[in-house]
Structure formats: C-alpha cells, structure tokens
C-alpha cells in the first residue's frame, strides 16, 4: 500500500504548550492522578506517589529497561537515524505471547531500572542531540504517562524539539489521552482484539474492545486521518494504527477493520504486522497444559496473512504498510539497531 501525505515545516505543539505554561499545568494534573491511580482503564486506585504498587508493579519513578535508536518501526518514522525509542518496563497488559516479555512481565527484576525524571529527560536529549534520532518514541507508556510528561517538560528546558511518538497497546484512558492532546505528535496504537473474551483470555484485561476503541476515537479526534510529513519526508504528526495478525484469527481482524473504516475513516493509516511467533507463555509445554494456549502455539500461515491484506483492500484502506510475511522468521526484539521488517 502507498499513501499521499502533506508536507510542511513542522514545530511540535508541545513547545507552545511549554512556553504558555499549559504543559506545566497538564503535568501537575497528571501527576496528581497518581495519588489514586486511574491512569489506565484498570483504575487500581493505589497511591503511587507513596510508592504503592498494583497491577503494573510501578510506583512513583519511571522504569526504563533500555533506550536506543530503533530501526524496526515503519519506514516513514525510521529515516536514516532511527526513532529514539525509550522502552518502559512493566505493562498494564499481561499478554501471554508478548514479544517483549523480558521487560514487560518480569516486574520484580525491572524495579532495579527505575530512573529519575531528570535522567529520563536526559535520555531524550541524548537520543536527539547525540544519536541524531528523528523523534522520541515512548514504548508501552500507558502506565507512565505522568512521568513521561514530566520528563518532556524538563526536556523542553534542555532543548527538546523533535516529535513525540506514543507507542501503545491501546488500553488507554480517554481522560488521559485528552490531556496528551498537543503533547503527543504521533499516536502508534496496536489494536489487539475485537472480542473482549480474547482480551481477557490472552492479555488479562476486561473490556479491551470498549476501552481500545474509545481510545482510538480520541486519537482520531486529535489527529484526523492525514499524516503530516516534514521536509525530510518523515512523519511529524498523525495516527498510525498497527494490527498484529494472530493465528486462527484470534485478533478478529475483520471486525477491527470494520470499526476503523466505519467509525473512524478508511483513510486512516494502517500498519499490518506479520511478525507473530510463539513466545513467552506460549510454549509447547504450556500449550499441552493449557488448552487456551494451543491456538496460539504456531506461527501464522501465509494464507491467513494474505486474507488479512485482502480485507484491507476490501474495506478501502490505501494508506500504510504491511510487513513482509517472512518477518516472523527473523523478527526478534533486540532493543537496538535493526533492519526494518516493513515494506511500503
């Protein structure tokens, strides 16, 4: 698939929010929410400001597992110097097949990777100034939004000026997303399921469909369906919706595309991903023990992926990318420089 985009000079809106004092006000509002945490739909109500932890095992300080220039994102994000990805530890989902489980589900081990807000801001500046990254990508940011925004505020003082990417599992709070309006430049949600049963069975959360779709509606309200490109040809602002194809259509691809096409727009940019492979809890041993994992205990078949790509055409989607089917053979998250698995 190909897409036509607008090109213009771009200055991230968060800089104006910083200059007006609005970024500080939003930061204070988000941090206050940690006192009875309702940052995500889990709504745990623990006091993270006092170090209390619940489902995401995360307290007051952000947890950064690693940060680096990353070349595995979509081509119009990567460019020549990559996305400056900051991988937050832990997660508000517990996906049984998570490819990043080493950092998302080993909660006790990840607590040692807590950093200060100033350190997080310095990472952003290093990625921008030293590594030359075209943007800053926060990976699995949902449970650390207040800390993320705090660090953006601090980084503005240090000269931050590149776009911010919000790379999420889409299990986000609409109230929080509204506070991110003008702070986030690019939303990069991965829509996982079209049935709540699948969300609970494989990711351990309730009402995934309702919350993810409400989140997508808010992201779309903020961004619309046109990606904005800069002079370098890279995306500076917009919404890119990812969809990881699962074996046996457990992701419910048709229903997801139907929602996007009819409730948002068929002009939205879609990124279809074929990189699924059995990992984390989905092992041959566990699949033998737990019947619900058996349906995930294989790679997707080429005909399954081709069917999904045909669906995209059928719903009129023309903008975006599709991973090479073979990406499932070589894609393994290494949290560092790598060749993009996407084709245009």
pLDDT in tens, the chain (344 residues): 434 444 457 899 999 999 999 999 999 999 999 999 999 999 999 999 999 999 999 999 999 999 999 999 999 999 999 999 999 999 999 999 999 888 888 887 888 899 999 999 999 999 999 999 999 999 999 999 999 999 999 999 999 999 999 999 999 999 999 999 999 999 999 999 999 999 999 999 999 999 999 999 999 999 999 999 999 999 999 999 999 999 999 999 999 999 999 999 999 999 999 999 999 999 878 777 788 899 999 999 999 999 999 999 999 999 999 999 987 665 656 544 434 443 43
How many CA atoms does the CB half-sphere of 5 hold within 13 Å? Answer: 23
Whether the model clears a pTM of 0.85, i.e. scores above it, the answer is yes
Closest CA to 141 of 9, 40, 241: 40
**139: number of Cβ within 10 Å:** 25
Distance from C-alpha of 78 to C-alpha of 19, rounded to nearest angstrom:
29
Contacts of 45 (CB under 8 A, 6+ apart): 36, 37, 38
Q: What is the CATH number of domain 6-343?
A: 3.20.20.70
Specify the pLDDT at position 331: 60
Specify the pLDDT at position 111: 84
How many CA atoms does the CB half-sphere of 149 hold within 13 Å? Answer: 30
Beta bridge partners of 6: 228
Specify the pLDDT at position 209: 98
The answer to whether the beta carbons of residues 233 and 214 sit under 8 Å apart is no
Specify the pLDDT at position 336: 42
Cα 309 to chain centroid distance, Å, stands at: 22
DSSP 8-state assignment for residue 63: B
Two tokens, residue 149? 């925004």
The answer to whether the beta carbons of residues 62 and 120 sit under 8 Å apart is yes
User: Domain map of the chain by residue range?
Assistant: 6-343
Specify the pLDDT at position 110: 86
Number of H helices, E strands in the chain: 15, 11
Specify the pLDDT at position 2: 36
Specify the pLDDT at position 329: 63
Specify the pLDDT at position 327: 73
Using N-to-C axis directions, what is the helix angle for 145-157 and 22-32, rounded to 10°?
150
């Amino acid at each position: 698939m190909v897409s036509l985009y607008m090109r213009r000079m771009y200055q991230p809106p968060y800089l104006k929010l910083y200059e007006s004092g609005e970024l500080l006000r939003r930061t204070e509002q988000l941090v206050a929410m940690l006192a009875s945490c309702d940052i995500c739909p889990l709504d745990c109500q623990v006091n993270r400001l006092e170090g209390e932890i619940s489902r995401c095992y995360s307290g007051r300080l952000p947890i950064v597992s690693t940060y680096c220039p990353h070349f595995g994102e979509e081509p119009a994000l990567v460019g020549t110097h990559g996305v400056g990805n900051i991988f937050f530890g832990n997660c508000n989902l517990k996906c049984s097949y998570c490819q990043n489980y080493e950092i998302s589900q080993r909660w006790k081990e990840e607590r040692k990777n807590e950093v200060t807000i100033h350190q997080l801001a310095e990472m952003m500046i290093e990625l921008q100034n030293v590594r030359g990254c075209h943007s800053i990508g926060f990976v699995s940011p949902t449970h650390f939004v207040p800390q993320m925004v705090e660090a953006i505020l601090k980084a503005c003082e240090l000269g931050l000026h590149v776009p911010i990417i919000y790379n999420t599992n889409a299990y986000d709070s609409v109230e929080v997303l509204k506070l991110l309006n003008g702070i986030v430049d690019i939303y990069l949600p991965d829509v996982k399921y079209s049935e709540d049963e699948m969300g609970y069975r494989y990711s351990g959360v309730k009402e995934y469909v309702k919350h993810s779709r409400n989140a997508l509606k808010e992201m779309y309200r903020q961004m619309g369906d046109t990606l904005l490109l800069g002079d370098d040809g890279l995306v500076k602002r917009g919404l890119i919706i990812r969809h990881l194809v699962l074996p046996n259509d457990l992701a419910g691809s048709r229903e997801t595309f139907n929602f996007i096409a009819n409730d948002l727009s068929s002009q939205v940019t879609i990124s279809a991903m074929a990189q699924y492979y059995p990992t984390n809890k989905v092992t041959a041993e566990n699949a033998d023990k737990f019947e619900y994992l058996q349906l995930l205990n294989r790679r997707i078949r080429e005909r399954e992926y081709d069917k999904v790509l045909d669906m995209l055409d059928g719903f009129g989607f023309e903008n975006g990318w599709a991973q090479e089917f073979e990406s499932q053979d070589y894609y393994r998250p290494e949290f560092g420089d790598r060749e993009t698995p996407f084709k245009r």
